[in-house]
Structure 1
Amino acid sequence: MLKTATPSRGTPLSPPLMLTSLGGVLEEWLPKQRWFAGKGLPITELSVVSMTELHPGCLHLLIRSRHAGSRDGCYQLLLGVSEDLPPHLHHAVIGRPGGGPFEGLTVYDALHDPRSAMLLLERLRTPGAAGPLRFERDAQAAIPPGLTPRVLDGEQSNTSLVYGDSFILKIFRRIQYGINPDLEVPWALAREGCARVPAPVAWFWTAEPRRTTLGVLQPFLREATDGWTLALQALASGRDFTDESYELGRATAEVHLALAHAFAPGLPDRHGGGRLAAAMIARLDATAHQVPALAPYVSRLQAAYDVVGARVPGRPDQRIHGDLHLGQVLRAGNRWSVIDFEGEPARPIAERRRAQAPVRDIAGMLRSFDYAAHARRPWQPQWAERCRDAYCAGYASESAWDPRQQGALLRAYETDRAVYEALYEARHRPDWLPVPMAAIARLAKGH
């Protein structure tokens, strides 16, 4: 049985006092986490934004890290404290403080502790407050008690808990103030009756320093398989993926149409194209300084953005997914669902909530087909091209326009996406950097 613990000597725990114990172990542990954005930059300061005891031996923290560079960030942690940690939690150890109120105790990531995870679900089942934290739920949704939790494996920029194969709770690790699109968008689509997107059943947020989404509970589609896995299975078996790609295009168009109804369209902006092109060029220039392999292509890639700057307001911008790829879609039987509307976590949340061109989502999915084709050796570019064409054809069958008729605009958004991928891979998965670099070489030639 897990022996929970509290700070020694009966001293009231304040944020500064807590950091005398935890500061050192967190400075060592945080940079090793995939969701930590300050990799490669020394942490110059840690401060506590908020601290709440969820139950004895479990602290909920929002921690701000400051760095010598520009990538300061706020992170959500659930820390367990124990005198004697059982073997099944050894992988979750954060550290053993050598001083301060937690001296001699073991600090660990409590999201891996079934007891803490079950108590967190109970908080969501029974709405209320805990310090600055607020727990809410859809009154029409049935959430049974006692569901067994497990942490979902796989590479994620957040942490997800699956409860009894019935629900999945996404805990946002890197926190930006405001409502998260992964709550806002599925909730709005549920009111529109869009069955392509699982509706939120419960969520929690903090009231301090201002209302900010911390986690969302949704139905878990246990019979579904993500599109990335299905694509790789098709490649491994030498099978075409065009039928699935066509249906995925139809599903994307359905979601876009529902989003256009759920949210007011963006107002026409005669100067919006110029600002967007300037932002793309700025991202390209900044990335080239951090990814030297990109530098030889900069001048040719900038030319791809000319069509964005010259774009005449016509079809209104609208809310979109914002980070659409094969890992963000699930297929059960012959039906696709779309998940994870958080957008690109590295971008400001205000930007992720802004109305944008639907072609950006389409470009993201086209890049994903290219990624899949590179993941299996030998590289199969013809496989990717067939998938890309089928996806666009499926989209056109449900929508009022065909993405293939806007080739120059699509290329501009693919270029912007490939630049984002190059920076991401350079920071997190250097072995994958050749994949976006191959696309950048192709796009620089105007293909």
Structure 2
Amino acid sequence: MLNELLAAWISRQRWFGGKGRPIDELSIDSDVELTPGLRHLIVAVWQEGSRDRYQVLLGERTTLPERLTHALIGTLGDVYLYDAVHDGERTSWLLDGMAHDEDRSGLRMRHVPGVDVDTSQRSLVLGAEQSNTSLVYGDAYICKLFRRLIPGINPELEIVTALAARDAPHIAQPYGWIETDLDGTDTTLAFMQEFLATANDGWGLALTSVRDLYASLPEVTAAEAGGDFAAESERLGAATARVHQELARAFPTEVIEIHELKRMAEGFRRRLGRAVVEVPDLRPHVGTIEHAFHQVELLTNEVPVQRVHGDYHLGQVMRTPTDWVVLDFEGEPGQPLSERRALSSPLRDVAGMLRSFDYAARHLLADRSQAGPSLEPRAQEWADRNRAAFLDGYAEGGGVITRADAALLRAFELSKAVYEVVYEARNRPLWMSIPLAAFRPRTDLGPA
């Protein structure tokens, strides 16, 4: 009966990765009592012959307070079962367990050596997440529960703890984690960091700047508008370069040889071919995209590779009162762990942020067909100004983008835009104009 309740409930959760496909079977692989009325479950969900495993905190109460009715999973007899991440009275076990390095039936709770964990803090769930669930404890900590479990150490835990051990700037202090064995492999279940209570996310700040520009008089330039963001973009570029430098010092580095660059271009080209079949609107731009990919094949120098962020955009950075902080080093959650931990060119992150500036400039126009054409030049101006400022800051911070690098950066950016076109076609067709604009000629990619 519990399995049936979980199957009906899990299919409706935002973090469930199998939406739109029937669940063939759900089984409980692990069931650990943490405290009376609170159980930690690892459930296996079978769909179309493949298995995914998810983490659930199962709460049990004989009466359910109104504040928890939205988290109800179902009832067994006279017991209410609910998603206990929403129950601040029960989630204190996370802090207690990490603070005291507890082991509980295969669950290992650890704190970072040398830090103290305040166990008096109460939790609230942070909303609007897609693949994880984060609990904010007071104004001190944020604990991310990785709902879909992939065997192995999560890159975010690995990277942030390594950078913190080096006293690297531009990261949030790590405090603890929870792990278990999955398929005989140490697997990260949760990761807790400093909560940046007084910070603002980069996406929100960028959108404020764009709105200010759109609301100003037509003759006012992006540089003259009250909410000009270019200085922040430049600071963000410098912070990004420093993070890349610290990653290169903390982890092994290699170089991509020339024949491997050709394989990289072939991979870009294969993805483009699949995308054109699915989204014919890409077809007029194939020549431009293919030209960019071919430039990578013509490179004659080796390309340094290292650990990178892997999913870098304005939503992954926070502006504190003193500087920029980079978050969410777990990479693209939908990709295999081995790919997220693989070495890559830091230009991949740079390209991701450049694409994010274009999205910030244009997304307010995507659903406004009448306003869009008249404001398009202003969107282009804002994007160009902030992209250039970010690249200037990246160079000032020690990042290097040579002429050859500019060719690779262009290829990374267009490959990302191809992915975005497919995503928007599937999910937000009105937004397809945003990534399609990426295939226009650019002059802000690297040195003149």
Q: CA deviation at 1:407?
A: 3.4
Secondary structure of 1:53's counterpart equals strand
CA distance in 1, matches of 2:283, 2:71: 40
Distance of aligned partners of 1:36 and 1:335 in 2 relative to their CA distance in 1, 3 Å threshold: same
Q: Which runs of 5+ in 2 are unaligned?
A: 214-226, 366-374, 443-448
The aligned amino acid for 2:124 is R
How does 1:238-257 map onto structure 2 within 5 Å? 238=213, 239-257=227-245
Which residue of the partner structure matches residue 90 of structure 1? 69
Q: Which residue of 216, 237, 242 corresponds with 2:191?
A: 216
Structure 1 unaligned spans of 5+ = 1-20, 97-101
Deviation of residue 289 (structure 1)? 5.7
State the TM-score, normalizing by the size of structure 2.
0.86
CA gap of 1:45–1:446, structure 2 versus 1, over 3 A, is: farther
- The alignment status of 1:324 with 2:312, answered yes or no, reads yes
2:249 maps to: 261
Secondary structure of 2:305's aligned partner: coil
Which residue of 87, 111, 115 corresponds with 2:89? 115
Question: Do the aligned residues in 2 keep the contact of 1:396 with 1:403 (CA within 8 Å)?
Answer: no
1:138 corresponds, among 100, 107, 112, to 112
- Contact 1:285/1:298 (CA < 8 Å) preserved in 2? no
Please give the alpha-carbon distance, in whole angstroms, between the structure 1 residues aligned to 2:404 and 2:266.
Answer: 24
Q: Say if 2:3 and 2:28, in contact at 8 Å, map to a contact too.
A: no
**Structure 1 residue 329: deviation in Å?**
0.6
Give the secondary structure class of the aligned counterpart of 1:357.
coil
Larger deviation, residues 297-306 vs 180-189: 297-306
Q: Residue 341 of structure 1 corresponds to which residue in structure 2?
A: 329
Q: Find the partner of 1:205 among 166, 175, 179.
A: 179
1:58 and 2:38 equivalent? yes
| Alignment correspondent of 1:157 | 131
* Equivalent residue, structure 1, for 2:206: 231
Contact 2:102–2:108, Cα closer than 8 Å, also in 1: yes
**Which residue of 2 is the match for residue 384 of structure 1?**
383
Structure 2 CA distance for aligned equivalents of residues 404 and 220 of structure 1: 40
Give 1:69 deviation, angstroms: 7.5
Aligned pair count reads 417
| Code of the aligned partner of 1:38 | G
Amino acid across the alignment from 1:24 = E
1:119–1:273 distance in 2 versus 1, CA, 3 Å: same
Return the alpha-carbon distance in structure 1 between the equivalents of residues 265 and 165 of structure 2. 34
| Alpha-carbon shift at residue 92 of structure 1 (Å) | 1.0
- Over 3 Å counting, the alpha-carbon distance change for 1:171 and 1:312 in structure 2 is farther
| 1:382-435 deviation line (CA, Å, top 9, x unaligned) | 1111110100010011225237773332221112222333454556xx23x443
- Of 4, 9, 26, which residue of structure 1 is paired with 2:6? 26
Distance 1:422 1:220 in 2: 34
Partner SS, residue 113 of structure 2: coil
Match of 2:158 among 176, 180, 184: 184
Shift of 1:195: 1.8
- Mark the CA change 1:244 to 1:415 in structure 2 (over 3 Å): closer, same or farther: same
Percent of pairs with identical residues: 42
Query: Per the alignment, do residues 444 and 191 of structure 1 end up closer, same or farther by CA in structure 2, a change over 3 Å counting?
Result: same
Cα RMSD, aligned residues only: 2.4
Question: Structure 1 pair 400/112, CA: closer, same or farther in 2 (3 Å)?
Answer: closer
Code of the aligned partner of 2:392? A
Q: How does 1:256-335 map to 2 (within 5 A)?
A: 256-287=244-275, 294=282, 301-335=289-323
Q: Aligned pair 1:365/2:353, yes or no?
A: yes
**Aligned residue identity for 2:95:** L
Partners of 2:310 and 2:340 within 8 A in 1: yes
Is 1:75 aligned to residue 54 of structure 2? yes
